[in-house]
Amino acid sequence: MTYFSKDPKTYDEQLQILRNRGLEVRDHDFAIHCLLHLNYYRLSAYRLPFLSPKNPSQPDEPERFRAGTAFEDIWKLYDFDQTLRRLILDASKRVEVSVRSRWAYVLAHSYHAFAYEEAVLFINPDRHREMLQDLDKELQRSKEDFVTHFRQNHGLPRPPIWAACEVCSFGLTSRFVNNLLHRADRQEIARPYGIDESVLRSFLHHLTVVRNHSAHHGRVWNRRFGNKQFKLPNHPAALKVNFSSDAVSELRIYNTLTMLLHLLSVIDPACPLPAFLYQTLNQADVVFHGHMGFPEDWRGRPLWAAAGSE
C-alpha cells in the first residue's frame, strides 16, 4: 500500500483552507453547497486568475488570493466555463451531422452505396479495417429501426452509406474522412464549407478532442490543446483575418470557437448559437479572455462582429 500522509478534508475544512489563503466567503451555505456537488480539485482549478503573484525568493510560500477575491468569483468563472462547454457541444453536434452527411453523399455519388467498405479508397488498410470494426460495434449497439430493417429485409450486415453514417460517432466520422485516399474526394466533402480539405480534416480531429473534453466536463476555458491544434485557413482572406496566429492563441480555444462560427454560418445561417456565444463571451470578465487566447480586437473581427449584431 502506498504511504500518503494527508487526510481527507471535510467541506468546512476545505473552505477554511481557502479562507486561510485570503479568499472571502460571503455566503457560507452557498459555498458549502458548491463543494458538496463539485470536487474541491475541480473547482480549485478555476482559482488561477485570482491568485497573487508568488515571490520568487519564497517559492514554497502558500499561494494567496488577490485582495477582495470572493468564492463567488471562482464560481462565476466555473459557471462561465460550464456554459461555454454546452455551447461547444451544441455547435459540434451540428458540425458532426453536416460532415458525416457530406461524407456519405460524396462517396455514394462518386462510387456506390457501400463505398465505405472498399479498402482501396482509403490510405491505410489497417486503419480502415479498424474503422469498420468500430462501425460494426456501433451498429450492434444501435436501436435504430433502419439498422434492423436493412439486416432483416435485405440481409445486409451493414446498411448503405447514407444510413450507416447515422450511427457513426464524431470520432469515427473524422477518421473516415481523414483516411480517404483521394484528395479530390476530401476536397469535394470540404467544398461547401469554403475551406481546404486539409483544414477541415485537421479541424475535425481537433474538434473531437475539444468535444470530448466538453462532454466529460473537462475545463476548456484556459486549456492548452498542445499538439491537438488545427491548421488555420490561409484563404479566403475574409476568413483568414478572423483567426489569431500568435503562439498563445494557437494553443487555446479562441481559434476553435472562431472556426465553429464559420462552419455554423454555412451549415445553419439562422442558428442562434453564434449570438449566444458572443453574448456569453462579451459579458464575461475581460480577464477570462486572455486565458482563452482572445485577441484584444476580437469583437471587431468579421465573424465575431456578425455574431454580435444578431
pLDDT by residue, tens only, the chain of 310 residues: 566 677 889 999 999 999 999 999 999 999 999 999 998 989 988 998 899 988 877 777 889 999 999 999 999 999 999 999 999 999 999 999 999 999 999 999 999 999 999 999 999 999 999 999 999 999 888 877 777 777 777 777 899 999 999 999 999 999 999 999 999 999 999 999 999 999 999 999 999 999 999 998 889 998 888 766 899 999 999 999 999 988 777 789 999 999 999 999 999 999 999 999 999 999 988 878 888 999 999 999 999 999 999 8
Within this chain, do residues 85 and 217 fall inside the same structural domain, yes or no? yes
Within this chain, do residues 21 and 119 fall inside the same structural domain, yes or no? no
Q: How many domains does the chain have?
A: 2
Within this chain, do residues 86 and 226 fall inside the same structural domain, yes or no? yes
> Residue 37 sits in which domain range?
11-69
Within this chain, do residues 181 and 273 fall inside the same structural domain, yes or no? yes
pLDDT for residue 19: 96
Burial 234-261 (b: 16+ CB within 10 A, else e): eeeeebeebbbeeeebbbbbbbbbbbbb
Within this chain, do residues 22 and 122 fall inside the same structural domain, yes or no? no
* DSSP 3-state of 70: strand
Is 99 within a domain?
Answer: yes
Is 121 within a domain?
Answer: yes
Domain end, chosen from 50, 69, 88, is at: 69
Within this chain, do residues 43 and 95 fall inside the same structural domain, yes or no? no
Within this chain, do residues 63 and 94 fall inside the same structural domain, yes or no? no
Is 288 within a domain?
Answer: yes
Within this chain, do residues 176 and 240 fall inside the same structural domain, yes or no? yes
Within this chain, do residues 49 and 171 fall inside the same structural domain, yes or no? no
Q: What ranges in the chain are assigned the alpha helix state H?
A: 11-20, 28-37, 40-44, 71-110, 125-141, 145-154, 161-164, 170-178, 183-190, 197-215, 237-240, 247-251, 254-267, 273-283, 286-290, 302-308
Within this chain, do residues 168 and 272 fall inside the same structural domain, yes or no? yes
Is 17 within a domain?
Answer: yes
Within this chain, do residues 45 and 186 fall inside the same structural domain, yes or no? no
pLDDT for residue 3: 66
Q: Which of 248, 97, 115 is nearest to 181 (CA)?
A: 115
Longest dimension (CA), the chain: 76
